[in-house]
């Protein structure tokens, strides 16, 4: 299965607080940081490593390093809240940016910015808290494919079945990591039960 549900009890407790409409922006940001950490650990648990020789204070030791680099690609603007916790885990990671906004009348995505580092020998984590229609995620993934990216994973906090189906229809092998597969989209293409407008709640706007 390309869809991976992060079912750790802590993830579900954090997500409950994120969903709560009374959670204020400062706490919302802290919760975002904590849930992203859990998602990133799950998404990278099978990444390949190779032997690496070091000297401890006591003796020689064969440790491990990753066989490839990492690029975190937030979909602006809501995805920005997921970057810092990933960099805390992987400080050598690079950061690309893809700016995509949704037309509130048509619900279709529109790209307005893209800036990516070199893609050779890199694994990409595309981060967007909400996978609703899948349009923004597919837009970002297509930008990475056109740049030559091969290994891509998508991290989101909640996902709608419609968005998951749309992404996997175009990218059937692409791993999607999420803390919840929600019920559906409403007539305005917002996720139910969802957690509202993530960007507004994160930024306090």
Question: What does pTM read for this prediction?
Answer: 0.90
Contact 81, 106 (CB under 8 A): no
Q: Residue 110: which domain range?
A: 3-45+69-203
| 61 is a domain residue | no
CATH code of the domain containing 105:
3.40.50.2020
Nearest residue to 177 (alpha-carbon basis) of 80, 37, 28, 48? 37
Nearest residue to 137 (alpha-carbon basis) of 93, 107, 100? 100
Cα separation of 79 and 15, whole Å?
16
| 50 is a domain residue | no
DSSP one-letter string for 87-145: HHH-TT-EE-EEEEEE-TTT--EEEEEEE----TTEEEEEE-SEESSSHHHHHHHHHHH
Catalytic center residues: 102, 106, 197, 200
| 59 is a domain residue | no
| 52 is a domain residue | no
| 55 is a domain residue | no
Number of domains the chain contains: 1
**What pLDDT digit, counting tens, does each position of 77-122 carry?**
788 899 999 999 999 999 998 877 666 666 566 676 677 888 888 9
pLDDT per residue of the chain (205 residues) written in tens, 0 to 9: 699 999 899 999 999 999 999 999 999 999 999 999 999 999 999 999 999 999 999 999 999 999 999 999 998 778 889 999 999 999 999 999 887 766 666 656 667 667 788 888 899 999 999 999 998 899 899 989 988 999 999 999 999 999 999 999 999 999 999 999 999 999 989 999 999 988 888 887 7
Cα dihedral across residues 88, 20, 134, 78: positive or negative? negative
| 169 is a domain residue | yes
């Amino acid at each position: 299965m390309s869809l991976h549900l992060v079912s750790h009890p802590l993830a579900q407790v954090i997500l409950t607080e994120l969903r709560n409409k009374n959670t204020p922006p400062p706490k919302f940001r802290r919760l975002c940081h904590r849930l992203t950490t859990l998602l990133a650990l799950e998404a990278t648990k099978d990444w390949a490593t190779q032997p690496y020789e070091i000297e401890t204070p006591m003796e020689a030791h064969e440790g491990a390093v990753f066989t490839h680099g990492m690029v975190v690609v937030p979909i602006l603007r809501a995805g920005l809240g997921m970057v810092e916790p990933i960099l805390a885990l992987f400080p050598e990671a690079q950061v690309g940016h893809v700016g995509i906004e949704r037309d509130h009348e048509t619900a279709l995505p529109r790209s307005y910015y893209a800036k990516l580092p070199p893609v050779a020998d890199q694994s990409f984590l595309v981060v967007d808290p909400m996978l609703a229609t899948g349009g923004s995620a597919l837009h970002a993934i297509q930008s990475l494919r056109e740049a030559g990216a091969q290994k891509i994973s998508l991290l989101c906090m909640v996902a709608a079945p419609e968005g998951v189906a749309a992404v996997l229809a175009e990218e059937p092998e692409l791993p999607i990591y999420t803390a919840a597969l929600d019920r559906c989209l409403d007539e305005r293409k917002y996720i139910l039960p969802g957690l509202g407008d993530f960007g507004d709640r994160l930024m306090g706007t």
